[in-house]
Amino acid sequence: MALILAIRERLGNSEIDKNDNQVRNKFVDDTQAQQGRLIITANGYQPAYITIPNPMYGYWENGLYDAEEYGKSSIWDLTPEQKSAQRIKSLITWSNR
């Protein structure tokens, strides 16, 4: 049996990577048992997902943008200011209350 390990900054599924963060989060939730673990059974093994995020840039960033919010047909039509506003809007804040 050969085992190939792929470590990526994406989820590694091109159909999932094309979607917004809600779809990506659902994929991660649905495959939680396989995140960071290789499960070997008598019938073989299940894929293991190991993702190391690149916090500076990456394909994940496209999931933050909503072109329709600005009446655009594509995220590639957003201005740098519009992208910046949507990045800030996407931040998850924490309050120690």
Q: Which of 30, 26, 31, 87 is nearest to 56 (CA)?
A: 87
Residues 59, 18 share a domain: no
Q: What is the pLDDT along the chain (97 residues), one digit of tens a residue?
A: 555 555 666 666 667 777 777 888 888 888 887 777 777 888 887 777 777 766 666 667 778 889 999 999 988 999 999 999 998 888 877 666 6
Task: Please list, in sequence order, all residues whose beta carbon lies within 8 angstroms of the beta carbon of residue 39, skipping any fewer than 6 positions away.
Answer: 33, 45, 46, 48
Say if residue 61 is exposed, middle or buried (CB neighbours under 10 Å; 0-12, 13-18, 19+): middle
Is residue 32 a contact partner of residue 18, using CB atoms and an 8 Å limit? no
Q: Which domain range does residue 27 map to?
A: 1-53
Q: Are residues 10 and 31 in the same domain?
A: yes
Domain count, the chain: 2
Please check whether residues 39 and 62 belong to one and the same domain. Answer: no
pTM of the model: 0.47
